[in-house]
Chains A and B, each alone.
Chain A
């Protein structure tokens, strides 16, 4: 969703997005066939790069995510709900001021 389009109901995101698209393609080569070749070449180059990434199993990745959570749980005030005295935003139980 474009935040801008909510400014006026008349401005639909598809229009604004098309405008954005037009702005960007003006920046690239003006020759239409040349620019679609460029886009295709870039896409292939990018995909070749991504194909080379070394990946691990989800089981390994998930285990590491889980372990990180568990190891840091004791340091997570929103998870534990620290006592009011330790949380500057929670009102203290008794007012210290006279």
Chain B
């Protein structure tokens, strides 16, 4: 057992060494912490799946418990954004890379991340339908309105008008990038998918 953990530590250190070179915002020590955290989380998971990495449910738990996210759809989307190879599991590499952007990302990286999250269909555009889906619960429905969704549809149009710089009826990555650079507030335009500023300030605790 003792030997095992010693070997484990060695493995983790090596892994951290390699990963921290690929990742921008974590040094070796931090990477090591994250890897340890990852394997800790995996350990809780059923052995059979452990080989692949974190599954969706566990990842969502982290998003919910640690970062206070509540929107199911957003959490699933964030999972997809982390899961770069689309194998429904988050590998240790995806974990460290994802958190690097998620916690410490520069604006450019965050724009890319958020766009990936919002690009529900993965087609490189955020369409009206996707917006509608993401914003569907964002307004209190007025019971007096004939069409309770009218407000939402209007919000979607407003958002589209603001973002669709090339007037093709959908938001491309460059549209999104330009919009967010003009107005940083619109980074999370379609739903909370990043830790909020307060967490960000104390984000170090996550890597301790």
Tell whether A and B belong to one assembly. no
Mark B residues whose CB is within 8 Å of A: none
